[in-house]
């Protein structure tokens, strides 16, 4: 019995060693299997994500980690600021008008002088030399009547375009959908200037328009109409060719109320209200002659108190009574898309000067 016991003990030890070795192999195999299983699963996930990304360029990140927020994708349709109307153009809000597609080719021809409208039965009222202290009152009237007009604006004449009060009313006019056009920087007679000086008059105002509004007009009116009267006159040719080279359509008028010639902003007035209105109304009716049809461009100045409070309301009622369609100058010349009222549309300056002294 003792001999038998001695023979079994080595066998038991050998078996234990074998079992331990097998167990080790099994454990190692499990560990290896788990490792490669996880590795393959990660590769499959990465490959799937890569495949989805290549097939779906707009797919966002798949992580839900709070430390890495989802980044919103840019919208194909720019969103307008809350409470504002208009169309986003070149990264800025072009106000009032909702526009789609591309603008049509412009109709008004650069360098050509237009004295009246070309679209039948249209009538444009325009105001020169402002904005002024009276322009807010005029805008109230136009808002009430639902009408759009053209403002031919100076840079530094009746007031400085950079003055905060002037900027405010100019922005209001633009944001209300009125056409803003150029009337030169300082209101000189252009025929007395060199081509270089004419260019400076126009480009200095262009910079101010870009600073305040973010646009450069495509329409202009020479102060006094100077440079548009003499066919073949060398000075007129100089003015018109210079303005053409700057890309501007030139517009004058066929009706002038003569407010700038006979009115004043002092009291007592040289002419009573009745006397003033009799003259100015006669300037309108003598051309229109109480008949609808045809086309007209009427010039007034929003720098005169009685033009705003008396003559503008009378003109609107008179023109409406004849059945005309009252529109901005550019529209009555065929440029009905307001994008064609401007040569350039872009962001206004983040900050602007407050005076015209540089």
Give the DSSP H/E element, type plus range, for residue 123.
strand 122-128
Task: List, for residues 124-134, the tens digit of each pLDDT value.
Answer: 999 999 999 99
Q: What distance in Å separates the CA atoms of residue 306 and residue 317, rounded to the nearest whole number?
A: 16
pLDDT of residue 304: 97
Task: List, for residues 152-164, the tens digit of each pLDDT value.
Answer: 999 999 899 999 9
Q: 27 in a domain, yes or no? A: no
259 has a pLDDT exceeding 70: yes
Query: Look-up: residue for tokens 């078996």?
Result: 15
Does residue 163 have an active-site annotation? Answer: no
Q: 128 in a domain, yes or no? A: yes
Q: What distance in Å separates the CA atoms of residue 288 and residue 283, rounded to the nearest whole number?
A: 9
CB neighbour list of residue 348: distance below 8 Å, 6 or more residues apart? 92, 210, 211, 212, 213, 214
Domain count for the chain: 1
pLDDT of residue 18: 39
Does residue 301 have an active-site annotation? Answer: yes
Q: 265 in a domain, yes or no? A: yes
Q: What distance in Å separates the CA atoms of residue 294 and residue 119, rounded to the nearest whole number?
A: 9
Whether the Cβ atoms of residue 108 and residue 334 lie closer than 8 Å to each other: yes
* Domain that includes residue 283, residue range: 86-345
Q: What distance in Å separates the CA atoms of residue 231 and residue 301, rounded to the nearest whole number?
A: 27
pLDDT of residue 39: 44
- Active-site residue identified among 178, 183, 187, 301: 301
Q: 241 in a domain, yes or no? A: yes
Q: Which of 55-64, 161-170, 193-202 shows the lowest per-residue confidence on average (mean pLDDT)?
A: 55-64
Task: List, for residues 298-351, the tens digit of each pLDDT value.
Answer: 999 999 999 999 999 999 999 999 999 999 999 999 999 999 999 999 999 999
Quick one: pLDDT band at residue 15, thresholds 50, 70, 90?
Answer: very low
Q: What distance in Å separates the CA atoms of residue 246 and residue 110, rounded to the nearest whole number?
A: 8
Q: What is the mean pLDDT of the chain?
A: 83
Whether the Cβ atoms of residue 190 and residue 222 lie closer than 8 Å to each other: yes
| Predicted structure pTM score | 0.78
pLDDT of residue 162: 97
Q: 254 in a domain, yes or no? A: yes
Task: List, for residues 23-59, the tens digit of each pLDDT value.
Answer: 444 444 444 444 444 444 444 444 444 333 333 333 3
What is the full DSSP assignment across 225-264?
GTTSS-TT-HHHHHHHHHHHHTTPEEE--SEE--HHHH--
Q: 53 in a domain, yes or no? A: no
- Active-site residue identified among 128, 129, 259, 335: 128
State the CATH number of the domain containing residue 246: 3.20.20.370
Q: 167 in a domain, yes or no? A: yes
* Cα torsion 326, 331, 336, 340: sign: negative
Quick one: pLDDT band at residue 79, thresholds 50, 70, 90?
Answer: low
Q: 173 in a domain, yes or no? A: yes
């Amino acid at each position: 019995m003792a001999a038998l016991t001695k023979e079994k003990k080595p066998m038991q030890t050998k078996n234990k060693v074998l079992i331990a070795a097998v167990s080790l192999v099994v454990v190692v195999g499990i560990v290896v299997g788990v490792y490669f299983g996880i590795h393959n699963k990660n590769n499959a996930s990465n490959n799937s994500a890569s495949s989805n990304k290549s097939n779906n360029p707009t797919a966002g990140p798949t992580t839900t980690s709070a430390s890495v927020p989802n980044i919103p994708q840019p919208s194909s349709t720019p969103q307008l600021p809350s409470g504002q109307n208009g169309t986003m153009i070149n990264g800025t809000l072009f106000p009032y008008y909702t526009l789609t597609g591309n603008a049509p080719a412009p109709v008004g021809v650069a360098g050509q002088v237009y004295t009246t409208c070309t679209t039948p039965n249209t009538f444009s009222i325009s105001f020169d030399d402002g904005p002024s202290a009276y322009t807010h009152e005029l805008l109230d009237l136009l808002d009430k009547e639902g009408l759009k007009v053209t403002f031919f604006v100076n840079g530094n004449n009746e007031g400085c375009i950079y003055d905060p009060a002037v900027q405010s009313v100019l922005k209001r006019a633009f944001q209300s959908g009125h056409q803003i056009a150029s009337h030169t920087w300082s209101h000189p007679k252009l025929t007395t200037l060199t081509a270089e000086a004419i260019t400076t008059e126009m480009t200095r105002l262009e910079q101010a328009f870009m600073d305040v509004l973010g646009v450069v007009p495509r329409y202009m009116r020479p102060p006094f109409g100077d440079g548009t009267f003499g066919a073949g006159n060398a000075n007129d040719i100089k003015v018109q060719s210079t303005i053409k080279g700057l890309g501007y359509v030139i517009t004058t008028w066929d009706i002038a109320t003569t407010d700038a010639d006979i009115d004043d902003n002092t009291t007592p007035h040289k002419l009573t209200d009745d006397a003033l209105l009799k003259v100015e109304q006669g300037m309108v009716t003598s051309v229109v002659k109480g008949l609808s049809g045809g086309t007209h461009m009427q010039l007034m100045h929003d720098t005169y108190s009685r033009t705003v409070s008396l003559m503008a309301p009378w003109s609107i009622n008179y023109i409406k009574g004849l059945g005309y369609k009252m529109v901005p100058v550019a529209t009555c010349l065929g440029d009905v898309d307001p994008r064609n009222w401007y040569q350039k549309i872009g962001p206004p300056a983040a900050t602007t000067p407050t005076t015209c002294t540089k």
